[in-house]
Chain A
Amino acid sequence: MTTFAGLSQTDLYALAGAALFVIGLYGLITRPHLLHKVLALNISSGGVFLVLVGIARRVPGPVPDPLPHAMVLTGIVVTVSSTAFALALAKSIYTETGHAVLEPDDLEETGEVSRG
Chain B
Amino acid sequence: MAEWVTTHLPALVILVPLTAAPLAFLLGGTLARPIALLSALLSQPLALALAFTVSAEGGVRYEIGGWGGPLGIDLVADGLAATLILVATVVGLGVTVYAWGYFADRERYRYFWPLWLFLWASLYALFLSGDLFNLYVCLELVSMAAVALVGLSLRRDALLAAMRYMLAAILGSLFYLLGVALVYAAFGSIDIATVREAVRADVTGQAAFALMTVGLMLKTALFPLHFWLPPAHSNAPSPVSAVLSALVVKGSFYILVRMWVDVADPSFVPGSAALLGVLGASAIVWGSVQAMRQERLKMLVAYSTVAQIGYLFLLFPLVAGGGAAAADAWVGGMFHAASHALAKAAMFLAAGTVLARFGHDRIAGLGGLSRRAPVTAMAFALAGVTMMGLPPSGGFVAKWQMIRAALESGAWWWAVVVVAGGLLAAVYIFRVVALFLGREGAEGEDADVDAGRSPATMEWATLALALAALALGVLGQPLVELIGVGAPALVAGVGP
A-side residues, CB < 8 A to B, are 14, 21, 25, 28, 34, 37, 41, 44-45, 47-48, 51-52, 55, 58, 66-68, 70-71, 74-75, 78, 81-82, 85-86, 89-90, 92-93, 96-97, 102-104
Contact = CB atoms under 8 A, between A and B. Distances in A.
Interface of B: 70-71, 133, 136-137, 140, 144, 147-148, 151, 154-156, 159-160, 162-164, 166-167, 170-171, 174, 177-178, 180-182, 184-185, 190
Contact of B160 (A58, A71, A102): A102
Across the A-B interface, give the 8 residue pairs with the lowest CB-CB distance, nearest first: A96-B156, A55-B185, A52-B181, A48-B178, A51-B181, A78-B140, A93-B159, A48-B177
Contact of A96 (B159, B174, B182): B159
B118 to A, nearest CB: 12
24 contacts: A21-B178, A25-B171, A41-B170, A41-B174, A45-B177, A47-B178, A51-B181, A51-B182, A55-B184, A58-B185, A67-B70, A67-B71, A67-B184, A71-B133, A71-B181, A71-B184, A89-B147, A89-B163, A93-B156, A93-B163, A97-B160, A102-B163, A103-B160, A104-B160
Contacts of B178: 21, 47-48, 51
A74 B171 contact: no
Contact of A82 (B133, B144, B181): B144
Nearest to B156: A96
A48 B181 contact: yes
Contacts of A47: 178
Give the most central of B71, B136, B160, B181: most A CB within 10 Å: B181
Give the most central of A14, A48, A102: most B CB within 10 Å: A48
A69 B160 CA distance: 35
A99 B419 CA distance: 46
Contacts of B136: 75
Contacts of B181: 48, 51-52, 55, 68, 71
A101 B147 CA distance: 17
A54 to B, nearest CB: 9
A85 B133 contact: no
B162 A78 contact: no
A82 B140 contact: yes
A95 to B, nearest CB: 9
Given A48-B178, A89-B151, A89-B166, 8 more contacts: A21-B174, A51-B178, A52-B184, A71-B180, A89-B159, A92-B154, A92-B159, A93-B159
A45 B167 CA distance: 13
A24 to B, nearest CB: 8
Give the most central of A25, A37, A51, A75: most B CB within 10 Å: A75
B163 A75 contact: no
